Amino acid sequence: MTTKYFVGGTGTNGQIGDGYQITHTSPQMVNSPPWASYAKVSAGNSHTCAMLEDNGVMCWGNNSHGQLGDGTTTNRLTPVNVSIIPSWMNVVDVVAGDGGTCVIDDLAAVWCWGDNSNQKLGLNSTISIATSPQTIRFSDSASLMGILPMGGINWCSTNLSTFYSSPIIRK
């Protein structure tokens, strides 16, 4: 079942997901692939990801740091399946950010990959680029409270009145 979603902003890296590298200053309706139904769309700075109804994840756009999670650094103009997520992981949320992507699993663990320069993903400082999901270690007194916008120049939504985009907040 195809999902229609609205998207706008800079599309120079294909992050709009319509197969083109073009900027849209007004909302454009874009279809998900025919086999995919999106539950949520998260727009990052130069890439976009979607949480599927079946808990799968797809991403598209800039992939210079492996942030699309397809095991390559090839930019994608249309959605591709995130293949680096282990089969045992039950993903419940996805967040596209500035060169990186994070998912939250059903145990509230946060896993990220992509550009970790200046520790912007919250990973160990020895990891500059994470090519596979790396868990974020919180202190014993910290707990996951929710997610906030990671910032970016794009937006996506499955509903014109709701916009999604977000990283992690710690208590």
Helix (H) or strand (E) holding 52: strand 47-52
Residue 162: is its pLDDT beyond 80?
Answer: no
Mean pLDDT of 94-111: 91
Mean pLDDT of 45-68: 95
User: Model confidence over 120-160: pLDDT tens digits?
Assistant: 888 888 999 999 999 987 665 555 555 544 544 444 444 43
CA 10, chain centre distance (Å): 16
Nearest to 50 by CA among 23, 76, 26: 76
Residue-level pLDDT at 163: 36
Q: Measured between alpha carbons, how far is 104 from 127 in angstroms, rounded to an integer?
A: 20
Residue-level pLDDT at 4: 81
Nearest to 96 by CA among 141, 51, 144: 51
| Cβ atoms of residues 111 and 135 within 8 Å | yes
Q: Measured between alpha carbons, how far is 42 from 160 in angstroms, rounded to an integer?
A: 14
Q: Which residues contact 33 (CB under 8 A, 6 or more apart)?
A: 2, 58, 78, 79
Domains by residue range for the chain, with CATH? 4-170 (2.130.10.30)
Q: Measured between alpha carbons, how far is 55 from 58 in angstroms, rounded to an integer?
A: 10
Span of 4-18, 32-46, 126-140, 152-166 with lowest mean pLDDT? 152-166
